[in-house]
Every structure is written in structure tokens, then in C-alpha cells.
Amino acid sequence: MAVRKPAIVRTKYGSVEGNHENGQYVFKGIPFAAAPVGKQRWQSPKPPEPWHGVRPAFKFGPIAPQNPMLGMEIMADLATTEPQDEDCLYLNIWTPDTKESLRPVMVWIHGGAFIVGSGSQEMFRGNTLTGRGGIVLVTINYRLGALGFMNLKEITQGRIPASGCEGLLDQIAALEWIRENIEAFGGNPDNITVFGESSGAMSIGDLMAMPAAQGKFQKAILESGGAGTVGLLEDGVATAAQFLEILGLKKTDADALYSMTVPQILSAQQKLNAVLHEKDNRITPFQPVVDGDVMPEIPIHAIEKGSAKGIPTLAGTNLDEFKLFNAIDRSFRNMDEESMALRLETIIPPEHLTEVIAAYRRGRRQRGEDTGAGDILTAIQSDYMFRMPVLRLVDAQCRNGQPAFNYLFTWKSPLMKGKFGSCHTLEIGFVFGNYDERFHGADPDADLLSKKMQDAWTAFARSGNPACKSLGAWEPYGDRRNVMVLDKECRIEIAPYEQERLAWNRFEMPVTKPI
């Protein structure tokens, strides 16, 4: 039970009162933007309204409207208990002390396929990252799904100006609020590191390319996500058209869209998700849209041209990312060579499919790993969606003269006798120091790995270099392709899984469609 030890901090918009919990001060549910409701639905975020007196910051704010996502019960620590509401643009702050200023600031952008998640998930409560690393931690909400990532500008002929990047603009608004106010909470507004996982990391890849985000942060940590999971404008328009068709609305009927209830929007989103999952085996119907304005071009192209110069980058992936998704996919249980090829034809140019499969089978055979159809499919899906975009981002940053570091997380989950391997989301618990015996494993080796990762992440937030006493030296990725393997025994390896990486070099892959 938390001991009552309040702290009052003055922000630009009014004073907030937090409390002392688990050795740190916590401020919950602070609005960083005005509520995006009514005619503000699908609009760019506006500053919050100032308030008088002291605003209590003891409870997390409402989270973005979202449907349940299949498989979330496996990751109990990513659950949330807060109510859902369109009025969801809130952030939370954990700080060792509000009096000592200029600590490194780490801003967490949650994942969840652009359709689920929040900044108040169980994982972040009682975290040990703040205390061990001496940093100020901020977690944020942002609009999700149809409310945050649907382009409506074209299809409504401008009556609704939504670019399909409103969720990203929310993230930028949060960063602006943090830069204006974080010093009062003990943080350094000139030393902000954004870090996130999955669609949170993909969001960071987008921010590294967006003009509106320039100068809003100094460093970036991307866990299981790069800078290519976006939709082209024509795809965004087609998705919006399908959404309106499900609702039975005319393309120009903006008033009807504004009057739709949140349950109606979520219901239509769920139906669209089912259609796309059946058609393309997609997990999510929405992702940020390259609209030519808010997001002028495909993010990885902008980064390769130097849009993220001056931003040290730490990015990596888990070895078996897609085991999480395939474990809950019933159709995966009977995977054979023909079914594998049919799935891969949607993501790999047909003329390259045979050679990519052969490269993966050859590499796995040489390492003594299983080479069945399901094993090959999982490995290719993991690299297509996560590892290859991350390596391309890290490589681009290195070529632009920026310090860029890569990791490969290979610790395996004990769940269901190891069926999940080093799956998607597994590393998050080690970063925040919240991991359980069931999903993550909990023993002295897990404790040590968590401490090493926390030390590396916070060292990077301080200096732009993840080398630290507990983990040792960590050289940038560079031409040698230095990769830090994070496991029971952490070590640098030179160009691991190189045969598989080279298989992707024979064709262009600027956009990674969600699968």
C-alpha cells in the first residue's frame, strides 16, 4: 500500500499533485492535449485547457477506444483496467525526485498494432527502470485505429481533414508538452529519448522522418519496429472506402461520421479487421498513411536522405517475433509447403520467393535448427515484419554518420514448454523490470538480464551509447554489422543470420504491410 507522500508540481497549464509510490513520485492522467471529441474528432490535437487550483494526478486517465485483441490474455502485464473514451490524450510521469533537475527523460510509446494499448498498462506500474537508471519516465496515450490512423481527407473531399497520421500527431503533441514542462518534474527537456515497441517503435521510425517532429527528441530506441510499416495514400483511401461501406455511409457525409458513436466506430473497425484478416491474413486494418503532407514520403526513404541526422539510435528485434502470432493462429497448425508459399506470395515478389525460402532453409540447416514449413514461415515473417526494417534503419543511420546500435534478443519464454521462443513483446518486461515466471521466466539469470538491459537503455538515454559496466562494450552496427545478443550470456556477434539478411537484398522493400 502506497504511503501518502504527495508532491505538487506547477506546469504551464496548472498545478498537479502526485504521490510517492515504490520509491518514486508518480503523476497519473495529466492531459497533454484537448479532448479530441465532437468536431475535434479526426482533427490535429490542440493544447489542453488550463485549469485553476491543483489537479489531482492519482488516477490514470481513460485510454483510447479499442477492441480486444486476440492473444492479449497471454501477456497479462500488457493489460489495462482504465475505461475507454475519446477523451484519451493523457500522459503519466514517474520520477525519482521532483527537486533535482536535468535527469534524462525517456518517453515510452506503447505498441499494439496501431489498434490497442495504452500508457497505463500493468507493465509500467511499479517499474524499476526509473530507480535503477536515474531517469524520468513518461508514458503516453494516443488515438488508435479508425480514430487515429484513417485517412478521410480525400474521400470526404476535405470535409474531414484527417491525414491518417492523427495518432502520430498526438505523440508529437505529447513531446511538445514534455519539452515545455518536464523540468518541473526533474527532467532535462534537452535530453529526451523516445522508446517504444512494435507499432510504438514503428511510430518512432515515422517521427524520425516527419517534419513536425524535428527537434522534439534527441535519441531513439526502437524495439521490434522500423520505419516502413505505413500505408501509401491510395491504400489509405481504399481502407477508408471499405470502412464507410461497412457503416453504410456516403463518402461525402462528414456530419454522419462525426455523429457516429464510439461503439459504432469500433464495431465497423472490427468488421473491417475480419475482412482484411480473411483476405490478406492481416492483424490490423490501420497504420500511418503517407499522405504527402503530414508524412511527406515513405519514412525510411527520408531517413536514408538524412532526416534523422543528429539522433543516436538503438534498435533491435527478438529472434522468434512471429511465434507469438502463429501460436494463436489456428490455420498455422496444419502448415505445409504449399500453404507456406501461398502466405509468402503476399509479401515477397514471386520471382524471388524460391530463393528466399531456400536461403532460410539453408541457414537454419547449417545451424542445426528445424526446417519445417512452419519454422521457415515464422522465421521469414519475423524478419519481413521486424528484423529487416530495423536493420535497414540502423544501417541508414550508420551511413549518415550517426551512432546506431543493434541488438538481437534471444531469451526464450518458458510458456507452454518453450513454444513461444523469443517471441514478440517478450523483452518489454525485462526493460521495465516487470516480468513473471509464466511468460518471461523468473530466476537469477532473468534478474541479471533485466538489469543489464535497463543499464544499457538508460546509459543510452544519458549519453547516446548503450555500453555500460554490467553489459560491457557495445560497438555501433557499422560495416562489420556488430550485433549485441541479449540472453543468459550477452555477447557481441558479427553479422549473425547473415545468409537470411542477404536474401532480402535482391529486391526493394520500402513499405512493410502489416501481417
Distance CA 272, CA 42 (A): 19
The active-site residue out of 321, 382, 413, 427 is: 321
Distance CA 412, CA 443 (A): 13
Residues paired with 74 in a beta bridge: none
Short-list 38, 168, 111, CA closest to 431: 111
321 counts as catalytic: yes
| CA separation, residue 269 to residues 214, 275, 334 (Å) | 32, 10, 29
Whether 9 and 28 have beta carbons less than 8 Å apart is answered as: no
| CA separation, residue 50 to residues 6, 41, 89 (Å) | 21, 20, 15
Residue 510 CB neighbours (<10 A)? 17
Whether 151 and 163 have beta carbons less than 8 Å apart is answered as: yes
Who contacts 110 (Cβ-Cβ below 8 Å, separation ≥6)? 117, 118, 119, 121, 139, 140, 196, 197, 200
List, as one string, the DSSP characters of 133-173: HT-EEEEE----HHHHS-B-TTTTTTSS--BS-HHHHHHHH
| CA separation, residue 167 to residues 196, 207, 315 (Å) | 14, 11, 22
The active-site residue out of 224, 307, 424, 450 is: 424
Short-list 230, 215, 194, 413, CA closest to 319: 413
The active-site residue out of 44, 118, 163, 198 is: 198
Bridge pairing between strands 404-409 and 187-197:
unpaired
198 counts as catalytic: yes
C-alpha cell at 408: 538481437
Residue 15 CB neighbours (<10 A)? 15
Distance CA 460, CA 219 (A): 8
**153: amino acid identity, one letter:** K
Residues 192, 198, 199, 201, CA torsion sign: positive
List, as one string, the DSSP characters of 90-135: EEEEEES-SSS--EEEEEEE--STTTS--TT-GGGTT-SHHHHHT-
Who contacts 374 (Cβ-Cβ below 8 Å, separation ≥6)? 326, 332, 335, 340
Whether 241 and 251 have beta carbons less than 8 Å apart is answered as: yes
List, as one string, the DSSP characters of 28-55: EEEE-S----GGGTTSPP-PPPP-SSEE
Q: Active-site residues: which are they?
A: 198, 321, 424
